[in-house]
Amino acid sequence: MLKYKGIIVYLLIVIIGFIYALWNLIPHVKDLYSIEEDIKAKTLVAADLDRKLQDLKNSEIDKLSVSQMVKNIYKPSIGGADLESSFAVVFDDIIEMAKYNGIRIYSLEYIYNPPEDEFVKQASASYNVCELKMQLVSDYTDFEGFLKELFKYPYLINIEKVELTPYLKNKKILIINLNLKLYSEK
């Protein structure tokens, strides 16, 4: 038995050393585990913040593209021009756009400073308004080109109403009632 006493003491020292090392190692393992959990949580927060940053960048790009789409109000080169002549250039441009796109103008009606318009109600001292009621004859593709050119026009033109009625004898031909509002500075 004495022979094994040295081995038993040695084993006891190894076991006590192992328990002591394990006892000191457990708090460090717990700390590492909590640090790993913090890293996972902060990675999720960072990913969420990156997504929010990307959303903000996209909304800023959208705002810039919208602000580039804002149109100016036409200002006649002749100051103090009367109401009808303040829209002469815009009228000519709209008629030329219609002719260029192969649209036939059947009738035109002008209503100057309509009382229900917000510009007239709020800023009639600064702006003139003309409601242009047009009756057009066209096919679908020509009318589409005309609308695209109206959209590209550098000055503000509001499309108030569009009524499309196919011609009875030929369904490819449209009779179009189009109401536009034009604005000019005084």
User: How far, in Å, are 11, 73, 138 from residue 113 at the CA level?
Assistant: 106, 15, 29
Phi, psi of 102 (to 5 degrees): 75, 25
For residue range 112-157, list pLDDT tens digits in order: 888 888 777 787 777 888 899 999 999 989 999 999 999 888 888 8
For residue range 5-62, list pLDDT tens digits in order: 778 888 888 899 888 888 888 888 888 899 999 999 999 999 999 999 999 888 887 7
3-state secondary structure 40-107: HHHHHHHHHHHHHHHHHHHHHHHHHHHHHHCCECECCCCCCCCCCHHHHHHHHHHHHHHHHCCCEEEE
Is residue 44 a contact partner of residue 154, using CB atoms and an 8 Å limit?
Answer: no
Is the whole-model pTM more than 0.85? no
Write down the pLDDT at residue 80. Answer: 59
**In the predicted model, what is the mean pLDDT of residues 75-95?**
79
**Cα–Cα distance, 88 to 83 (Å, whole number):** 9
Both tokens assigned to 74: 């036409």
For residue range 155-173, list pLDDT tens digits in order: 888 889 999 988 888 888 8
